[in-house]
Structure 1
Amino acid sequence: MVPAVASAQSTATDLGLIVIGSASGVATTLQDAPAAVTVIDSETIAAEGARDLNDILRTIPGLNLTQGNSGIGEISMRGLPANRTLTLVNGRRVSTGGTVVRDYLGDLTRIPLDAIDRIEVVRGPMSTLYGSDAMGGVVNIILKEPTDVWSGSVTAEYSSGPADTTADNAQISAYFSGRLTQHLTAAFWGKVYEREATEDYSYTTDAGAAATVTSGEGSRTKELGANLIWSPNDTIEWGIELTASDERYLSYQAHDTRRLQTYDLTLTNEWQLGAGQLSSYLSYQNSQNAPWDTTNTTWKDATEYNTINFETRYSNATQIAGRYLEYTLGLNLSHDELSDTNTNSSGALIEGEMSTAALYAEARYDMTDSLRLTYGLRADSSEEYGTHVTPRVYANYDFGNGLVLKAGFAQAFNAPDLRSLNPNYLLTSRGNGCKPYPGPCYITGNPDLVPETSDSYEIGLNYQGSDVSWELTAFYNELTNMFGAAKTGETSSNGYAIFERTNIDEGTTAGLEGGLSWNISPDLTWTNSFTYLAKSEFYYEFLDTPFPMATTPELNITTALNWQANDALTLGASVTYVGKQVGYITEEELSSEEARAVPAGQNSDPYMLVDLSLAYDLSDNARINFGIDNVFDAQPDDTVSYRETGRLFRIGITTSF
């Protein structure tokens, strides 16, 4: 499929897309945003004919779709592990993942593509605005707002792929909105989706032993959502948003493995105060994860995670010394609660709660007609990990004629979760969590954990022209106090070594990312994106050898052509080069103790993914999409413990009104 980043870059100039709240506390143009940003609009999403957001995001510069032993694709930014990327919906956190310890299918598969207005992807740390977890960057999914005139769309899609890498899937999604009364508008959306579980496949370990894993669990998902907006006058707006989802994780030739249910209620307020804008929301999220008990053939008691979040943000502009100053002041209060009986090996209840308060401020000041500086500062305070301050400074220099220089420094942090802070937490690991020592082992929580921190630097050029647009950014990240596990010297009654969560590791990532879009003619567009990781490594305590931080290629390149053959027919083709694992290491290079820490999933041989797509407008209100992903069924080498999506045939139709 044609990479989404290409369309985003090419339309940014034509349509004047804006970034709202993701890269800055105020609305700004894509080029002026104080960060490396990509915006994907709803037209691009519709043209992709993708199954979910993972398929759309993987070709953005700086991003990689990392694969684990479970076969689950996760978004990794700039060589950092996937859990250092923060996913937001309408600028709000999604807490469903707090109920799942392993093999979470993620937040990107449940949202109906028909309901999405745009996706704002910010590469680089954003803790100043969003607090914990935004160390690598932010993926902010903006849903469509209700319209004045009743309109909407319905999409039906079916895909078929190899049983051992992809399996079949089908979905129907819908979105419609309109005005109910003079002051009240409404939007409704829904999705029914099923992706079959894949069969097991075999691979060969570095040691030459045969091993068998699954490419991934399937999923059966139902989601409903509604949004009501009441605007009594031109200065104030109230909203209420409700979503509910039920997701079953499917196992190949077995009962569903878990039932994941989520409920979300959010109240919003937009208030125009003179020249300023006050934006606030209060949200409540409840997520429940009930695993299937194969022994007693019933559902176990559900792990439950509740989050209450309140945020208010005031933005305005003024002049200082004759120069323009935009500023944002914000307050965030959150409370999380966990009740878990499923991740403690002894079956004991794990309970915990965490309250966090944060104040933040950001200011953008025009130092000269060409130079704009952005300053940000945030303070997060919690009884569990103390007070944490994260600063940010960013500069945009406009050379004119569409060329802008961007450079910045930011700190970020990743707070420990409620399980890792609980001394009663007792996770069983077959080996990966026990490294660099042999498994299996038990891992306990530690109430003395402190947040991971990072210092990040970037510099780049961004050019937006009428026919050609490009960007090039260099980045460097230093991480300290990374979460790990250390031996306590104790042994359980069944002989397992006992480890404790601790801050032991440090790491570094560095590289280049870029993109190019060229409108060769009014009907033909050539797009490109790449990510080069010069370094992505961290150290285990007491070992001298650096190890890869994530399952990420050293070089990832996508090039694509999109041809508007006539008024109704659009053809697309793309080629993605997936390079060798960054920091690739083998057991032969290491000592016997270090060899135990070699990560699974390293790819040593590059491969190519070729995608083809076709979109045909049957009428003004109906479009049919065809596609073949991974035409030649390319896969990593036989020693790699994950598989790419196999040759996948897609067909879908969208009707609108």
Structure 2
Amino acid sequence: MNNDRLLPGYFFILAATITASTGALAQTAEDGTILLEPIVVTATSSERFLKDAPASVTVVTGEELRERPVQDLAQAVEGTPGVQLTGIGLGRRGISIRGMLPEQTLVLVDGMRVSNSASAVAHSDYELGWVPAEAIERIEVVRGPMSSLYGSEALGGVVNIITRQATDKWRGSFGSLGQLTEHGLGGGGHNFSFYAGGPIIPGILGLNIWGQYRARPELVSPHDERLSSLGDEKAFTGNATLTWTPDAQQRIDLSYGAGSEKRWRNTQGAGRFPTFYRSDDDITRRHVSLSHTGDWDWGTSRVRIYSSMLERENERSDGAPVSGPQKFTDAAGDAQVSFSPLDNHKVTVGGEIRRERLDDPTVNESGRAEQTHFATFIQDEISLGDKWELVLGSRFDDHEAFGWHASPRTYLLYHLNDALTFKGGVGAGFKAPTLKQLSPEYEAIAGGGRFTIVGNPDLEPETNLSFEAGFEYQQGIWSARAMAFQNNVDNLIQAVCVIRCSGAPGATWSYENVDEARIRGIEIGGGVELPWDMRLDANYTLLDPIDRATGERLPDRSRHAANATVSWSPLESLKTSLRVNYIGSQKTTTASGSQGAYTLVSVNGDYALNEHASLQFGIENIGDVRLADESGDYAFADEGRRYFLGLRAKF
């Protein structure tokens, strides 16, 4: 059967959902109250109401995160529409958006890139731990390529962490959390975090500071105590930001952040008689930024310079050659201005220069590779009367290896009324090969010593042409949304065997543009205020990911995913929630070739002791689904049923 014929069917289902939902919701919501709309910035690089964002955007608030046990960014966005957590090796997880790979998700902090360590360190998830929940104002998840604004890596989508900002009054909070597992194999943990922000000189100079310590002991494999299902982790992170407002039109921010992380895990070498050894990682990270924003009579401006660095050193207890050390540095400067040349146009023009450098003994003979990216972009937000809006834009990137690359995007919004908005658009994205992948001298031992992997200077960038169309509705106690989408992905880069591919040790692998994929699907969701101070929010994603070369389903992507949260406030001082996350069966790259469906159920509560302190408590993974510890079919591990207790104070 030709899978391309399924697309009209998807849009038919979408149309039917629109008709059924809007009719029922509009009728029910006639006497409802109007909900305040969140502000988002990631979709256009400027502030907009969420319902007016020309993209599929989900907002996760910081208050929501601080009411449940959130250890990293993956846990923070778990359960949001179109997002799945997928295995990246060593029991770790990455963020996949609409079936795209985790390395095709761009992570930003306040709109600025953090070091993409996955391009230098295998199985890296270091981007997930830069900011603690205590310091987060909100997280914006944009689904679909955003290379028109952010360039390479934004092939599948963008996750932008917006941090809390100082105000004209001091405010702060402190949180502590302990977690206990019930199998006696470790994997519990605890963390302490704080945030404080306010004026040093009222109206002129402000300060934000935050920090975190988190620890998770090793989760021992129940099958062999010499192996770790999850490694031991201990991390310190801190940040300070000075904000100077010399007048009502200007703002200058200077920020410095640093972190230190130690990880170790017990693992097994390759070969007929494998050895067991301990692998230790020391990770250091730094981030510094200086920005100026202006709100002028003619428009707005923003200028930034920033740099992020991540360094990793590895040791092995068996004395074998180590991986690394690696140091990844990303330095960038960007500027943009927005103005309205005509009453119905808002034009944004900007540019960026970025220098990335990798220090790694395997990348080439000198142990260092670097490249410079130049980019410019233009965006026009056009108001076509009271109901229609058109957003046109494109970014033009100049890559040292590939020259200029254009990433255009067009998006249309139709506001039928204050409650219902139709959205649709088409956009292009790209992801350039990493420094290692492109280096003709790159050569490293991989697969636990089973093979050697080498670079390929003839690689082409991965590209994505994406389409989406749907609606969003919000009126009174009801909200609903539905979106159909399709990603046409070309030149996917994969490591393939090229020499001595019999399966025995000694093979040589390299990177090649081998795959063409078509990933289409539907996202449906909504929420409603229920009686007895309850609320229900739910979403469902259907994916149809196909390898166009073979016609087979792409691995490591679930066809069905559903999430639901029931919130209940039986007392003024008590807030509770029940979360259900369902991930359907999927084809995998594990030995069995498949992974069964599973459901995770969690419950948590937040009890206010007084106006300044609250107690958090609950059970994660009530069903005790062990995933990788129960079966080798699963690509990442879970600690199983665990209990948590925390205390949060604020002023």
TM-score normalised by structure 2 residue count? 0.87
Determine the structure 1 residue equivalent to 2:396.
Answer: 379
SS in 2 for 1:419: helix
CA distance in 1, matches of 2:79, 2:53: 21
1:29 to 38, 49, 71: 49
SS in 2 for 1:146: coil
CA distance in 2, matches of 1:601, 1:176: 50
CA distance in 2, matches of 1:219, 1:13: 45
CA distance in 2, matches of 1:599, 1:197: 23
Structure 1 residues 635 and 194: CA distance shift in structure 2, 3 A: closer
- Verify the 8 A CA contact 2:141 2:157 in the aligned structure 1: yes
- Verify the 8 A CA contact 1:309 1:332 in the aligned structure 2: yes
Structure 1 residues 464 and 601: CA distance shift in structure 2, 3 A: farther
Using the TM superposition, give the Cα deviation of residue 214 of structure 1 relative to its aligned residue in structure 2, in angstroms: 4.1
CA distance in 2, matches of 1:455, 1:165: 46
Determine the structure 2 residue equivalent to 1:240.
Answer: 254
Determine the structure 1 residue equivalent to 2:229.
Answer: 215
The alignment status of 1:71 with 2:65, answered yes or no, reads no
Determine the structure 2 residue equivalent to 1:364.
Answer: 381
Determine the structure 2 residue equivalent to 1:436.
Answer: none
Determine the structure 2 residue equivalent to 1:558.
Answer: 563
- Verify the 8 A CA contact 1:350 1:419 in the aligned structure 2: no
1:653 to 627, 647, 650: 647
- Verify the 8 A CA contact 1:571 1:614 in the aligned structure 2: yes
CA distance in 1, matches of 2:240, 2:592: 41
Determine the structure 2 residue equivalent to 1:186.
Answer: 207
- Verify the 8 A CA contact 2:463 2:489 in the aligned structure 1: yes
Determine the structure 1 residue equivalent to 2:539.
Answer: 529
CA distance in 2, matches of 1:397, 1:487: 50
Determine the structure 1 residue equivalent to 2:492.
Answer: 482
The alignment status of 1:53 with 2:73, answered yes or no, reads yes
AA in 2 matched with 1:260: I
Deviations 1:31-87 (A, max 9, x none): 110001111222212223433332231110100111244211211111111111111
CA distance in 2, matches of 1:339, 1:164: 40
SS in 2 for 1:232: strand
The alignment status of 1:546 with 2:552, answered yes or no, reads yes
AA in 2 matched with 1:562: S
The alignment status of 1:198 with 2:219, answered yes or no, reads yes
Structure 1 residues 202 and 317: CA distance shift in structure 2, 3 A: farther
SS in 2 for 1:114: helix
Using the TM superposition, give the Cα deviation of residue 384 of structure 1 relative to its aligned residue in structure 2, in angstroms: 2.0
1:332 to 352, 361, 373: 352
CA distance in 2, matches of 1:491, 1:580: 30
AA in 2 matched with 1:458: E
Q: Aligned pair count?
A: 606
Using the TM superposition, give the Cα deviation of residue 600 of structure 1 relative to its aligned residue in structure 2, in angstroms: 5.1
The alignment status of 1:512 with 2:518, answered yes or no, reads no
Determine the structure 2 residue equivalent to 1:171.
Answer: 191
Using the TM superposition, give the Cα deviation of residue 255 of structure 1 relative to its aligned residue in structure 2, in angstroms: 5.7
CA distance in 2, matches of 1:548, 1:201: 31
Determine the structure 2 residue equivalent to 1:144.
Answer: 164
Structure 1 residues 522 and 426: CA distance shift in structure 2, 3 A: same
- Verify the 8 A CA contact 2:472 2:481 in the aligned structure 1: yes
Structure 1 residues 167 and 29: CA distance shift in structure 2, 3 A: same
CA distance in 2, matches of 1:45, 1:627: 14
SS in 2 for 1:44: helix
**Quick one: percent identity of the two aligned structures?**
27
Determine the structure 1 residue equivalent to 2:511.
Answer: 501
Deviates most, 458-467 or 256-265: 256-265
CA distance in 1, matches of 2:422, 2:299: 29
Deviates most, 163-172 or 393-402: 163-172
TM-score normalised by structure 1 residue count? 0.87
SS in 2 for 1:108: helix
Determine the structure 2 residue equivalent to 1:260.
Answer: 283
SS in 1 for 2:471: strand
- Verify the 8 A CA contact 1:165 1:215 in the aligned structure 2: no
- Verify the 8 A CA contact 1:194 1:220 in the aligned structure 2: yes
CA distance in 2, matches of 1:391, 1:510: 20
AA in 2 matched with 1:626: F
Mind listing any 5+ residue stretches in structure 1 that lack a counterpart?
A: 1-9, 204-210, 432-438, 586-597
Q: What does 1:81-160 correspond to in 2, within 5 Å?
A: 81-95=101-115, 97=117, 100-160=120-180
Determine the structure 1 residue equivalent to 2:13.
Answer: none
Determine the structure 2 residue equivalent to 1:434.
Answer: none
- Verify the 8 A CA contact 1:69 1:213 in the aligned structure 2: no
- Verify the 8 A CA contact 2:118 2:124 in the aligned structure 1: no
Q: What does 1:559-598 correspond to in 2, within 5 Å?
A: 559-581=564-586, 584=587, 598=589
Deviations 1:501-560 (A, max 9, x none): 222221111111122110113711011111111x223367xxx463524x2221111222
AA in 2 matched with 1:175: Y
Deviations 1:78-105 (A, max 9, x none): 1111111111000001115157422213
Using the TM superposition, give the Cα deviation of residue 599 of structure 1 relative to its aligned residue in structure 2, in angstroms: 4.5
CA distance in 1, matches of 2:505, 2:178: 49
- Verify the 8 A CA contact 2:376 2:397 in the aligned structure 1: yes
Using the TM superposition, give the Cα deviation of residue 190 of structure 1 relative to its aligned residue in structure 2, in angstroms: 0.5
Determine the structure 2 residue equivalent to 1:5.
Answer: none
AA in 2 matched with 1:538: D
Using the TM superposition, give the Cα deviation of residue 440 of structure 1 relative to its aligned residue in structure 2, in angstroms: 3.5
- Verify the 8 A CA contact 1:471 1:516 in the aligned structure 2: yes
CA distance in 1, matches of 2:222, 2:298: 61
Using the TM superposition, give the Cα deviation of residue 634 of structure 1 relative to its aligned residue in structure 2, in angstroms: 2.2
Using the TM superposition, give the Cα deviation of residue 212 of structure 1 relative to its aligned residue in structure 2, in angstroms: 10
Deviations 1:461-520 (A, max 9, x none): 10011101111111111111111234544799x972323322222111111112211011
AA in 2 matched with 1:654: R
Mind listing any 5+ residue stretches in structure 2 that lack a counterpart?
A: 1-28, 268-276
Using the TM superposition, give the Cα deviation of residue 155 of structure 1 relative to its aligned residue in structure 2, in angstroms: 0.3
- Verify the 8 A CA contact 1:408 1:458 in the aligned structure 2: yes
- Verify the 8 A CA contact 2:491 2:516 in the aligned structure 1: yes
CA distance in 2, matches of 1:522, 1:92: 42
Structure 1 residues 263 and 56: CA distance shift in structure 2, 3 A: closer
CA distance in 1, matches of 2:420, 2:320: 63
- Verify the 8 A CA contact 2:120 2:358 in the aligned structure 1: no
Determine the structure 2 residue equivalent to 1:294.
Answer: 317
CA distance in 2, matches of 1:139, 1:474: 20
CA distance in 2, matches of 1:202, 1:537: 35
Q: What does 1:420-439 correspond to in 2, within 5 Å?
A: 420-430=437-447
The alignment status of 1:15 with 2:36, answered yes or no, reads yes
AA in 1 matched with 2:638: E
AA in 2 matched with 1:510: R
Structure 1 residues 214 and 472: CA distance shift in structure 2, 3 A: farther
Determine the structure 2 residue equivalent to 1:306.
Answer: 329
AA in 1 matched with 2:520: A
CA distance in 2, matches of 1:348, 1:447: 15
- Verify the 8 A CA contact 1:374 1:393 in the aligned structure 2: yes
- Verify the 8 A CA contact 2:601 2:622 in the aligned structure 1: yes
- Verify the 8 A CA contact 1:485 1:504 in the aligned structure 2: no
Using the TM superposition, give the Cα deviation of residue 137 of structure 1 relative to its aligned residue in structure 2, in angstroms: 0.7
The alignment status of 1:610 with 2:601, answered yes or no, reads yes
- Verify the 8 A CA contact 2:187 2:639 in the aligned structure 1: no
SS in 1 for 2:416: strand
AA in 2 matched with 1:111: V
Q: What does 1:266-277 correspond to in 2, within 5 Å?
A: 266-277=289-300
- Verify the 8 A CA contact 2:121 2:326 in the aligned structure 1: no
- Verify the 8 A CA contact 1:74 1:106 in the aligned structure 2: no
- Verify the 8 A CA contact 1:220 1:250 in the aligned structure 2: no
Structure 1 residues 71 and 98: CA distance shift in structure 2, 3 A: closer
Deviations 1:215-258 (A, max 9, x none): 32231100110000111111111110000000111225976611
Deviates most, 361-370 or 84-93: 361-370
